[in-house]
Amino acid sequence: MPHAHHHHHHHVDPAAGDGKIAAAVAINLGLTVAQIIGGVISGSLSLIADALHNFSDAIALIIAFGARKIARLPANADMTFGYGRIEPVAALINYTTLIVIGLYLVYEAVMRFATPEPVAGWIIVAVAGFALLVDLGTAALTYRASKTSINIRAAFLHNVADALGSVAVIIAGTLVLLFGWTWVDPLVTLMIAGYILWQSATELPHVARILMLGRPLGIKTEDVIAAMRSIPGVADVHHVHLWMLQEHGNALDAHVVATADTDASALRSALKSQLKEAFDLHHITLELETKANQCIQPVVIGH
């Protein structure tokens, strides 16, 4: 029997927030230049570290912004599923760069512990204070979009890490200024690095899950199979695939063995209605079989 397709697209106003993200990019690039100048003049590793991280913020936002644009392109003969998956790809790139930056900062901080250098505290405090205001502003610009996009969330976390980094730098600069504690600078750098690495490690599994065609969180494959088998007219279900088509949109395909004298069209409608209502599944492909022509020794999940 032919495959049956049902398509439904979730739209979270795709263009919402584009202008804010563009503004956030411009702000971050300007801040990066200011921080690097301040860090070189003052000899502060944590300030230069913060500048590098800010630069990564701008790049992260540019990648996220570009991915959002590409994701809206319609499906075509080459990309029959469309371009939505570019967003988790962009998120993967951004989290990977965050990890690289975090590890680099750990290395630099350890080296600075071994050979401490004097720091001009007041310059750090002034520049980091300005940086904090910019970081908070950028985070505010991207906060709303980060709620509905794993891609923008990765860029948003770059900014949150920056804001916390700026707070830490202000504390370090103040302590160097008041007490001459140069060891606080690399210690603060380590703390920033730890936060960056922790955030990245927390978010990466979900990104990988989408790219690896994992089942949607909150839906158990076993429950979906049980629900399908409970529908009158269904003798069995096999070759079940349940996956995240992209961040917003789950898909299912399966072979359904119908009992004798079952109306195929009515059964298909009943299955889709149940799956949509119980599991919010909209992209469904079902292949109906009879006991006479069903797959030989089929596996329940996968092929």
Domains observed in the chain: 18-211 (1.20.1510.10), 215-290 (3.30.70.1350)
Place 13 in a pLDDT band, splitting at 50, 70 and 90.
Answer: low
pLDDT surpasses 90 at 230: yes
- Residue 6: per-residue pLDDT: 42
Which residues have CB under 8 Å from 64's CB, separation 6+? 21, 90, 91, 94, 149, 151, 152, 154, 155
SS3 content of the chain, % helix, strand, coil (to 5): 65, 10, 25
Separation CA 266–CA 178 (nearest Å): 79
Place 1 in a pLDDT band, splitting at 50, 70 and 90.
Answer: very low
Greater model confidence, 8 or 237: 237
pLDDT surpasses 90 at 21: no
What pLDDT digit, counting tens, does each position of 165-204 carry? 778 878 888 888 888 788 888 888 898 889 889 988 998 9
- Residue 132: per-residue pLDDT: 86
Neighbours of 1 (CB within 10 A): 14
What pLDDT digit, counting tens, does each position of 239-279 carry? 999 999 888 889 999 999 999 888 889 999 999 999 999 99
- Residue 120: per-residue pLDDT: 62
Residue among 102, 109, 17 nearest 68 (CA): 17
Tokens of 184: 């606080």
Angle subtended at Cα 126 by Cα 122 and Cα 128, rounded to the nearest 5 degrees? 115
pLDDT surpasses 90 at 148: no
Residue among 174, 202, 178, 200 nearest 188 (CA): 174
What pLDDT digit, counting tens, does each position of 61-77 carry? 899 889 988 988 999 99
